[in-house]
Chain A
């Protein structure tokens, strides 16, 4: 785990080596701001930061606002576990339901999302305070604030993406567009590598389709 102070040091080192810049050109706060923006951009693009929040099921309630249940900015709800059914809710498009779906009451079976803040359940619950929806999501991690802050979820080798992003922002402010664009391309390559890693973690370990035993496990047993 690489602390913020190390990332700042690396940024300074790289900035000075290419531009001959001075130590006083950029304050630590400025560089921290750029690193944090890089962190947010990286999380938006790759979804590497995975969390879940527990949402109490409420009577007659169709819509839930994720802002009320987690301090992090949710960028993608991936799945929801219901303790009422001991089952995953099925993600659906409510347009596939019949026109009376909103009147139904029972134990939630399915969920859908609207905009960036809201998810809905079908049917709305007919009981209050007896169950939890465990909402799994991808999010924007909290910003680095202290120099010794670390982000365990980000593999160490990808902190270089944050360095590239900070240097890119600095080059923009310095009005060096060509250098800025080069640095941004370098950042984008690292971003793509992280996105590939996040999306294809199961590439070599998957069991494939149930019943077919494809994939590594299938090859071993079939």
Chain B
């Protein structure tokens, strides 16, 4: 595994400047980060899935750490979306003060007061918030339950697919949405059919119609901390020994078979997101931050990042400048992009045709945007050419 530290050394070694006479480590690291992001953004090697949780964007907490995670570090705590606790941001009841106050924990932790929504004591308990048309039945404790979409992580580089309830949503422009329904933003909630990603802020993905905040999550029941079991509840500690070994129950959960490990494969799951009644987004993203010290790219592709750093280093005015080599290293970087892009394009070279047929699944004319009638999956009756 190649580290940021190793890459810095390698670059300086190639530049024959391990003593940092011409280039400082900080400068080289700047170029490496730049090259890494540049390479990944142009080649899109990292596929990932995120969840726009179909839960009310409200929350509560028991500890300050929980609040910090919920507000500042989405994905680290029990929620993947930032939660807001201020009245102005997230509720609509006139004259109400902070949501934190209304849904506090009676002064137990976090310094909040007042009545709280029944059972809602943590960010993970947001499913307890119920109501209609975006408000609790009790308007005083108004909490919005309408979920118009979610903010994608800012490292997303390309959007591939959006699903709700495991059904593919249709991507449309906001202009098309206006034609469909000028009031699409203020309509009630339902099962989303469309999504837009072009108007509500660079990374905000809107689903149409808005979701009703009704995803069914496991109720967190028990101690906080790293998950050890495949659901949030019913942790079963198996103590039966088989051939001298404990058969399970202890240790950290590292994966669950039917779940996509977002940001994986490293780390441990923090929450199990159901795909039923939930909105999942498939994306390409940038690599993990180099502040963590590890490149996510396979080692063989890191040389291109180093070539970019050398190109930048040799381009700079000063005693180390070498424009001819700099240009060559830039070309090597571009060749790396070409290799990886070509490789993805030719990923399926053994795709063979139907006998005497065509190499691709037939795509019929689409006079009404619906396409020709097709079998339920593309392995139906072959299309024989009866003239032969």
A contact set with B: CB distance below 8 Å: 37, 40-41, 43-45, 58-63, 65, 67-68, 73, 75-79, 88, 90-92, 94, 96-104, 109-110, 113-118, 122, 124, 128, 140, 172-173, 175, 177-178, 180-181, 184, 209-211
Contacts and interface: CB of A to CB of B under 8 A. Distances in A.
B223 interface: no
B340 interface: yes
Contacts of B166: 100, 102-103
B378 A175 contact: no
Interface of B: 14, 16, 44-47, 49, 160-161, 163, 166-168, 257-258, 260-261, 264-265, 275, 282, 284, 298-300, 303, 322, 324-325, 328, 339-340, 343-344, 346-351, 355-356, 361, 363, 376-379
Contact of A76 (B322, B325, B343, B378): B343
Given A101-B377, A102-B167, 9 more contacts: A41-B300, A45-B339, A58-B257, A65-B264, A91-B351, A100-B168, A116-B46, A175-B325, A210-B356
Contacts of A173: 14, 16
Contact of B379 (A58, A90, A100): A90
B379 A140 contact: no
B159 to A, nearest CB: 13
29 contacts: A40-B303, A44-B343, A59-B257, A60-B258, A68-B265, A76-B343, A76-B349, A91-B347, A91-B348, A96-B363, A96-B378, A99-B168, A100-B167, A100-B168, A103-B167, A109-B377, A110-B379, A114-B282, A115-B45, A117-B46, A118-B47, A124-B258, A128-B257, A140-B298, A177-B328, A180-B325, A181-B328, A210-B356, A211-B356
Contacts of B355: 210-211
Nearest to A172: B325
Given A100-B167, A177-B325, A180-B328, A209 B356 contact: yes
B346 A76 contact: yes
Contacts of B379: 90, 109-110
Contact of A175 (B44, B322, B343): B322
Contact of B378 (A97, A114, A184, A210): A97
A172 B14 contact: yes
A16 B246 CA distance: 62
B347 A37 contact: no
A45 B347 CA distance: 13
Nearest to A119: B347
A210 B355 CA distance: 7
Contacts of A76: 343, 346-347, 349
A128 B163 CA distance: 25
A103 B165 CA distance: 9
A128 B339 CA distance: 37
B325 A63 contact: no
A115 B348 contact: no
A115 B46 contact: yes
Given A68-B265, A115-B46, A61 B258 contact: yes
B325 A116 contact: no
A98 B168 CA distance: 8
A58 B260 CA distance: 13
Nearest to A181: B328
A41 B261 CA distance: 30
Contact of A67 (B260, B265, B284): B265
A151 B45 CA distance: 27
Given A97-B377, A114-B282, A78 B350 contact: yes
Contacts of A172: 14, 325, 328
Q: Which of B167, B376, B378 has the most CB of A within 10 A?
A: B378
B37 to A, nearest CB: 16
A117 to B, nearest CB: 7
In the A-B complex, the 6 residue pairs with the closest CB atoms: A115-B47, A91-B348, A60-B258, A114-B47, A40-B300, A99-B168
A211 B328 CA distance: 50
A44 B257 CA distance: 31
Contacts of B160: 114
B378 A116 contact: no
A59 B350 contact: no
Contacts of B168: 99-102
Contacts of B348: 77-78, 91, 113
A73 B299 contact: yes
Q: Which of B258, B299, B355 has the most CB of A within 10 A?
A: B258
Nearest to B388: A211
